[in-house]
Structure 1
Amino acid sequence: MAVMLLEYGAESRLIEQLSSRLGVALGCTSVEMSLIPSAVVLTTLVGDSSVTTTRRAQEQPINLSIVHQIVTICIETEKNPCDIMTVERKLMAIHADAYPVWLLIPMIGFSCAAFSHLHGADWSGFWITFLAASVGMIVRRELSHRNYSLLIVFAFTAFVCTLIGSLSFYNGLSTTQSVVLSSSVLLLVPGLPYINSMLDAFKGYISMGWGRWTQATLLTLMSSLGIMLAMGLLGLKGW
């Protein structure tokens, strides 16, 4: 459970608290844990006996729906104690509850386009931003499903979004080109990793905070690299 929480974007305090609560609900005396960004080291104490195990966390897209389902399983186990196998079956049955593609992609496009409009983009710029963000989301999903590194996914998606956003320069289609270029890549902002890094640092999980901040910064740098590459190929000026 701790590994799943770590993989799908829960903050460190929540991971530690839920793991301890579930362990006690299943009959452990206590649960001790050490977290690093890529693994969990967990010790279960039952009377005078203890077992320590290390589990590596795989790279997964952030999904707070899964985190919510895990929290629900923990609370239900505390209220209605059951055996370990039952809890394991519940954890194995967790599903992503993903939004349908036909809804997700246009909503991402409209969210970026709405941001551009709020910052002064004209209507042609609005629709170019919508197109760039929507296509970028398609590219991001396809690359992620093929298990490419997140760094590669962010760089290539930013490259594609900037290429399409550059349509605003074509024959003066839009007078707000800089707003279009900056808004079309908003789907790549790693907001939750930055938030979790700050929460972890303030709550005493310094190594986790630094690790998550570094990961979010690398994603930002790779997005910037994709943007600069596209602008360099097209000979565009800065935002």
Structure 2
Amino acid sequence: MARSDRKGLGALLTDRAFWLGLISIGLGLVVFALLFNFAAMPIWTRHDAAVEVPDVGEMTPDDAQSVLRVAGLEGEYAEQPYNPNVEADVVVDQSPSAGTTVKPGRRIYYYVNVSPKQLVVVPDVVSLSEGKAREDVSDRGLVVDRVEMDSVRTPYENTVTRQSPANGSSVPVGTRITLWISPGVENGRNVRVPNVVGSSVSDARRQIKDAELWVDSPRAESGEVTRQEPAAGGTLNPGQEVRIYTDGDA
């Protein structure tokens, strides 16, 4: 074979090898891309994986953490202000809520009603001035959070008419208290004094309140009303006081 023919054949073989190699590389890249997209990526991202969030309500924090871990989820503990109306030291809420579908490894927050370290009794500040009520509340380690104007009238302006939480409640130190205060007596209008003699103390208080009048009489706690001042049938301005007495009064 002539030297020129051998050179041509060598160039042809070289070109074929080049193109075959290039085609092989291209096919390899296509195969790699397909495998990565349909095999590796779903495994890596767990695109099709889903976990139903378990209900950890009323569990202890440790039990809730264990249940979430078994479900392939990450639990995060959080305290919430103590609520004496529900069980203490258990989960009372969670986010996302139970039954929600999430990806594995999702962080689930669970909130625990933690027992307070110290409880105090809410003082009775009804009938006190706002200033004295604030002082008594503060002395118990509590905080007056809000003061609202009430529609209930009393003989003196800014007298406390209601409170929340109620007096006698056991609450954590630092609990916020809401007070309602009176706008005072309404002048220019009269209401009739009801007859509450012979009624129970609780019923007498209700009748006087319904008549738009005020009753304090802290010594009249229970039993039957034996006397009232002023007498029934007279008139007073809304917010003025009717005093009641029982046989047990000193």
TM over 0.5: no
Higher percent of residues as strand: 2
Q: Which has the higher contact order (CA 8 A, sep 6+)?
A: 1
So what's the TM-score if we normalise by structure 2?
0.21
